[in-house]
Amino acid sequence: MAAFKNIKLLFVPLRIFLNKTPSSLQLNLYRFKYNEAYSVKSVLLDHPVGSDVVVKGWVKSIRKQKRTTFMHISDGGVEQIQVVIPSSACDEDCCFNSAVEISGKVVVSPKCNQPVEIQGEKIKVVGKLDLQSFPFGPRKYYPPEYVRQQIHLRPKTNTYSAILRLSSLISNALQTTLIQDNFVSVFTPILTSNDCEGAGEVFLIRPSSNEMCREMGGNRKPEESYFNKKVYLTVSGQLHLEAIAGGISKVFTMGPTFRSENSRSRRHLAEFRMLEAEIAFCNDLQPILSTIESLVKQSAKIILELGSLDLVTVGNYYNENLEESLNELLKFSFATISYREAMELLLKNRDSFKTPPRDGADLGSEHELFLVNHMGGPTFLVDWPANIKPFYMRTSDDAHSLVSCVDLLVPGVGELCGGSLRENRYDILKSRLQALNLEESLNWYLDLRKFGGSPTGGFGMGVERLIAYLLRIPNVKDIVPFPRTPHNCPM
C-alpha cells in the first residue's frame, strides 16, 4: 500500500497535496477544462511532471542564447513560470511583453525556485508588440509619474499588476469580514437628489442628448428634464444606508463616491471608493471603533497570508519592507484620544507647524500626521465640536457642544475613516434641518425617526486610502486603474 502510494506520487498534481480543490467541484469541472487548463497557476499546481501542456501568457523576461532561450511567462497571476525552449523555435515576434501560447512538457526544474518548469516545443505569438514604441523596457525602473502617463498600458508592469492583485485581496477582505460579522451588503444609489454632507462640492447630471432633454423635460431646464429635479452624484451613501438600517440592523455598501473639489493633493480623487457601514441599536462609539479596527487588521492579515510575493514586488519599488510594517500594524492596539486632548497637544507644539492649529477648528494634514506620530500608530480622534461637523451627528449626552463622532488617522495618509452616532431624536434633528433649510428635501430622513428608528451609528472608509496606507503608496493615483482628478479624464 505504501509502495503503491509512492509510485502514484509522480503522477499526482501538486494541488492534491496542498488540498486546494475547488469548493464546489461539480460546477467547476467543465469550466476548468476551458479557462484554467492553460493558466500558469494550474500548470504549477495541477499538472504532474511529464504531462503535455499549453501555457498562455506574456513574456516577462527573455534571454536568447545560441541554442536555448529562457523565458518567464506570466498570465497576470502572482506566479510566473520558466520556459526553456530551443532558440530555433523563437522568431523575433517573440519579445518582451508579447502575448504567446507555448506548448511543451512539464519537467522538474533543475535550479529554479519553482519545483517545475516547461520544456517548450512550439511557440505561437498571439499578440505582437511594437518594441520601438512600447514605453517600458525589461528590468528598468520608471518613476510613478512616468508610468501614470501610460495609464492604459500600466497594468502590464509588474509593480502595478501586483498593486491590482493586492487591492483585490483587500476589497475582498473588507467585504468578507463584514459578511462574516452578519452585515448585509446593499447597493445605495449613485444618483441622488440629496447632497448628504451639504458641502456643495457635487457633480450635477443631465442627459447628454438635447433631444432627450426636450422629449422628457419640455420647457424645463436640461438638468431638470430627466428626473424633474436636479440630481447629483452621491458624496456618501450614508443617509440611504440609514433607511435600510431601519429594517436590517447591520448593513454596508462599497461603491464609488464623487467630489468636484479643485484639489491636486496626493490623497484626493474626484471619484473614489468608500466602504460605508451602518449599525442599528448602537448608542456607543465602541462598536464602530472595533469594527473599523478589525477591518484594517483583517485586510493586513489577508495580504500577508495570500499576497506575500506581491508585497515584496511593491515594497521593492517603493523601498519599503511591507511585511515588517504590516506585522507592526497587527501588533498595535489603535489609540483613542479626544479632540480636546488632541488640541491641547497640538497647541503645546504649535511651533512645529506651518499653519498653527486653531482651537475649535478642523485639523490640517500636518496636524493629523503629528498626532499619529505622537500616538505611535493609527489613532481614533473622538468627540469633536458640533459646529464643525455635519448635521446628522448625535449631540453628546455629556457636553452639548460636542458630537459623538470619530476620525481614524493613520500614518502617511491622515484621515482614513470618519464615523459617528446619528442624531435619532426627532425634535433635535428637525430643528437642525430647519436651520439648514433642508427640512423639505430631507423630510424622508427625518421620517426615519418617527417610525421605530433605533439609535444608529456608522462610518465610511476610503478604500484607496486604506490601500495607500497598507502598501505605503504615497499617491492614490497609483492605486485606482483610471484616476480622475481636475483636468484629467483622458479615456
355 binds a copy of itself (CB under 8 A): no
Contact between 300 and 329 under an 8 Å Cβ cutoff? The reply is: yes
Applying the rule CB under 8 A, the residues between 275 and 294 that interact with a copy of itself are 279-281, 283-284, 286-287, 290-291, 294
Dihedral angle, C-alpha 427, 433, 438, 444, nearest 10 ° = -40
Q: Which stretch binds a copy of itself (CB under 8 A): 111-119, 340-348, 394-402, 478-486?
A: 478-486
Question: What's the burial of 97, exposed, middle or buried (CB within 10 Å: 0-12/13-18/19+)?
Answer: buried
Q: Measured from the CB of residue 471, what is the shortest distance to a copy of itself in angstroms?
A: 15
Contacts of 201 (CB under 8 A, 6+ apart): 235, 259, 260, 261
460 binds a copy of itself (CB under 8 A): no
Q: Measured from the CB of residue 47, what is the shortest distance to a copy of itself in angstroms?
A: 15
Applying the rule CB under 8 A, the residues between 125 and 164 that interact with a copy of itself are 126-130, 133-134, 152-157, 160-161, 164
Between 259 and 367, name the residue whose CB sits nearer to a copy of itself.
Answer: 259
Q: Measured from the CB of residue 175, what is the shortest distance to a copy of itself in angstroms?
A: 7
Q: Which stretch binds a copy of itself (CB under 8 A): 81-89, 181-189, 362-370, 413-421?
A: 181-189
Q: How many chain residues touch a copy of itself (CB under 8 A)?
A: 136
Q: Which of 69, 80, 82, 98 binds a copy of itself (CB under 8 A)?
A: 98
Contacts of 325 (CB under 8 A, 6+ apart): 472
Between 28 and 365, name the residue whose CB sits nearer to a copy of itself.
Answer: 28
477 binds a copy of itself (CB under 8 A): no
Applying the rule CB under 8 A, the residues between 27 and 66 that interact with a copy of itself are 27-28, 30-31, 34-36, 38-39, 41, 56-58
Applying the rule CB under 8 A, the residues between 198 and 237 that interact with a copy of itself are 200-209, 212, 215-216, 226-233
Distance CA 282, CA 250 (A): 10
Q: If you search the block for the grid coordinates 512539464, which residue do you land on?
A: 106
Between 221 and 350, name the residue whose CB sits nearer to a copy of itself.
Answer: 221
Q: Measured from the CB of residue 332, what is the shortest distance to a copy of itself in angstroms?
A: 13
Between 154 and 367, name the residue whose CB sits nearer to a copy of itself.
Answer: 154
Between 111 and 487, name the residue whose CB sits nearer to a copy of itself.
Answer: 487
Contact between 406 and 285 under an 8 Å Cβ cutoff? The reply is: yes
Vertex 336: Cα angle to 330 and 339 (nearest 5): 145
* Residue 474 Cα distances to 119, 121, 317, 405, 478, angstroms: 42, 44, 12, 27, 8
Distance CA 57, CA 101 (A): 7
Between 226 and 370, name the residue whose CB sits nearer to a copy of itself.
Answer: 226
353 binds a copy of itself (CB under 8 A): no
263 binds a copy of itself (CB under 8 A): no
Site string for a copy of itself, 384-413 (x = CB under 8 A): ------------------------------
* CA nearest neighbour of 268 among 15, 477, 470: 477
22 binds a copy of itself (CB under 8 A): yes
Which one-letter DSSP state was computed for residue 488?
B
Contacts of 281 (CB under 8 A, 6+ apart): 249, 454, 455, 456
Q: Measured from the CB of residue 416, what is the shortest distance to a copy of itself in angstroms?
A: 18
Q: If you search the block for the grid coordinates 426627532, which residue do you land on?
A: 426
Which one-letter DSSP state was computed for residue 361?
S
Applying the rule CB under 8 A, the residues between 417 and 456 that interact with a copy of itself are 424, 441, 444-445, 447-455
Q: Which of 50, 115, 360, 486 binds a copy of itself (CB under 8 A)?
A: 486
Q: How many CB atoms lie within 10 A of CB 29?
A: 10
How close are the terminal C-alpha atoms of the chain, in Å? Answer: 63
